[in-house]
Structure 1
Amino acid sequence: MSQQIYIVEDDPNIRDIVKAYLTKEGYQVTLMERAEDAWAKAKAEKPDMWILDIMLPGMDGYELCKNIREVSEVPIIIISAKDEEVDKILGLELGSDDYLTKPFSPRELVARIKRLFKRASTPTTNKTDEFETIEIDALKIDQAARQVFWQDAEIDVTSKEFEMLEIFAKNANRAFSRDELLTLVWGDDYFGSDRAVDDLIKRLRKKLDGLPVETVWGYGYRLHIDEESK
Structure 2
Amino acid sequence: MTISLLVVEPDQTVRDQLRAQLQMSQIAMSVLYSAAQLMNRLELECPSAILIRAEAPMQGERDALRRLRQAGYEMPVFVLSKSDEVVDKIVLFELGADDYIVDPVDLHELTARIRRAVQRANRTLCDAPEMREKISFGDYEIDFATRRLIRNGAEIALRSSEFALLKLFARNPMRLLTRPMVNSQLGRSESQNNSLDVAVCRLRTVIEDNPSSPKFIQTLRGRGFMFVPSPKQNEERPVIVRDRDSRGCAASALHLLQTAGLA
Q: Which TM-score tier does this pair reach, normalised by the shorter chain?
A: 0.5 to 0.7
Which of 131, 138, 142 aligns to 2:149? It is: 131
Structure with greater Cα Rg: 2
- Per-residue CA distance 1:23-65 (angstroms, 9 max, x = gap): 1111110122112333322112111110001138996222211
Aligned counterpart, 1:107 = 108
The residue identity in structure 2 corresponding to 1:21 is Q
Offset at residue 109 of structure 1 (A): 0.5
CA 1:10–1:57: 2 relative to 1, 3 Å = farther
- Structure 1 stretch displaced more, 18-27 or 52-61: 52-61
8 Å CA contact 1:78, 1:100 repeated in 2:
yes
The residue identity in structure 2 corresponding to 1:42 is L
2:80 is aligned with 1:79: yes
Aligned counterpart, 1:7 = 7
- Per-residue CA distance 1:188-230 (angstroms, 9 max, x = gap): xxxxxxxxxxxxxxxxxxxxxxxxxxxxxxxxxxxxxxxxxxx
- Structure 1 stretch displaced more, 34-43 or 73-82: 34-43
Aligned counterpart, 2:47 = 47
Aligned counterpart, 2:96 = 95
Aligned counterpart, 2:211 = none
Aligned counterpart, 2:219 = none
Q: How many angstroms apart in 2 are the aligned matches of 1:34 and 1:132?
A: 44
Name the % identity: 27
Aligned counterpart, 2:28 = 28
**Is the partner of 1:60 in helix, strand or coil?**
helix
- Write out aligned runs for 1:1-230 (5 A): 2-55=2-55, 60-71=60-71, 72-123=73-124, 124-125=128-129, 128=146, 130-132=148-150, 146=167, 147=170
Structure 1 alignment gaps of length 5 or more: 134-142, 149-153, 157-230
The residue identity in structure 2 corresponding to 1:11 is D
Q: How many angstroms apart in 1 are the aligned matches of 2:129 and 2:22?
A: 30
**Is the partner of 2:67 in helix, strand or coil?**
helix
Q: How many angstroms apart in 2 are the aligned matches of 1:129 and 1:38?
A: 33
8 Å CA contact 1:77, 1:98 repeated in 2:
yes
- Structure 1 stretch displaced more, 91-100 or 9-18: 9-18
- Per-residue CA distance 1:129-157 (angstroms, 9 max, x = gap): 53348xxxxxxxxx996558xxxxx898x
**Is the partner of 2:149 in helix, strand or coil?**
coil
8 Å CA contact 2:56, 2:83 repeated in 1:
no
- Per-residue CA distance 1:165-186 (angstroms, 9 max, x = gap): xxxxxxxxxxxxxxxxxxxxxx
CA 1:103–1:92: 2 relative to 1, 3 Å = same
4+ residue segments displaced more than 4 Å: 56-59, 143-148
Q: How many angstroms apart in 1 are the aligned matches of 2:99 and 2:58?
A: 23
Q: How many angstroms apart in 2 are the aligned matches of 1:59 and 1:35?
A: 10
CA 1:16–1:83: 2 relative to 1, 3 Å = same
**Is the partner of 1:87 in helix, strand or coil?**
helix
8 Å CA contact 1:9, 1:15 repeated in 2:
yes
CA 1:37–1:130: 2 relative to 1, 3 Å = closer
Structure 2 alignment gaps of length 5 or more: 131-144, 152-162, 176-263
The residue identity in structure 2 corresponding to 1:121 is N
8 Å CA contact 2:50, 2:77 repeated in 1:
yes
Offset at residue 119 of structure 1 (A): 1.0
- Give the number of aligned pairs: 143
- Structure 1 stretch displaced more, 52-61 or 72-81: 52-61
